[in-house]
Amino acid sequence: IHGAHGYLIHNFLSPLTNQRTDHYGGSLENRARFLLEVVKSVRANFPAEKPIFLRVSASDLVEEVEGIDASWEIEQTIQIAKWVRDAGIDVLHVSSGGNTAQQKILTAPGYQVPFAEQIKRAVPGLAVVAVGIILDGPQAEEVLQSEKADLVAAGRTFLRHPNFALNSARELNVKAVFSQQYSRGRTIHG
């Protein structure tokens, strides 16, 4: 379930975009209602042995908008994380921004990792994915070893460096494991 970056579900969650006055607007509980209905429906119709991932925006990265509490505080995201864990989400993929032109994104390597770390520490029993300019294997490994997240995603890095996984394995002195159909191409046969 993809709930971040201006997509439908995050438009319900964010006080910046959700101006509804019915039971899907106003309080955090109301703004989260649509998400929780979707999660419960997916969980009821998805094999129990398979994990369900949800991507959320931990912050809209907007300081203020006239007349609207524009802060998408981490405390709200932590509460939502608890609710979705209890509703059947197994893995929470934590991102930020992307919902409004008023956002102010100050990027640096690992800039979104603190959001994932705060959620991981506050919501036991929920696996958390960190993102945010993951540049190399040692950086990703540091996030995992310091228990800031359970998983690391490096989407844009793969666009710039398609061999990111192989390079990271080399940097970390780890043998890369290939799927069976590709392993034969890794050796020279006579």
The predicted pLDDT at position 188 comes to 65
Of the listed 7, 24, 111, 182, which one is catalytic? 7
The predicted pLDDT at position 6 comes to 44
pTM of the model: 0.84
Which tens digit of pLDDT belongs to each residue from 75-111? 889 999 999 999 999 999 998 776 666 667 777 888 8
Whether the per-residue pLDDT at 190 is higher than 70: the answer is no
- Annotate 85-121 with DSSP letters as a single string: HHHT--EEEEE---S-TT------TTTTHHHHHHHHH
Q: What is the mean pLDDT of residues 46-60?
A: 91
Q: Active site includes 7?
A: yes
Distance separating alpha carbons of residues 188 and 118, to the nearest angstrom? 48
Distance separating alpha carbons of residues 173 and 166, to the nearest angstrom? 10
Whether the per-residue pLDDT at 130 is higher than 70: the answer is yes
Distance separating alpha carbons of residues 116 and 101, to the nearest angstrom? 23
Higher pLDDT, 41 or 189: 41
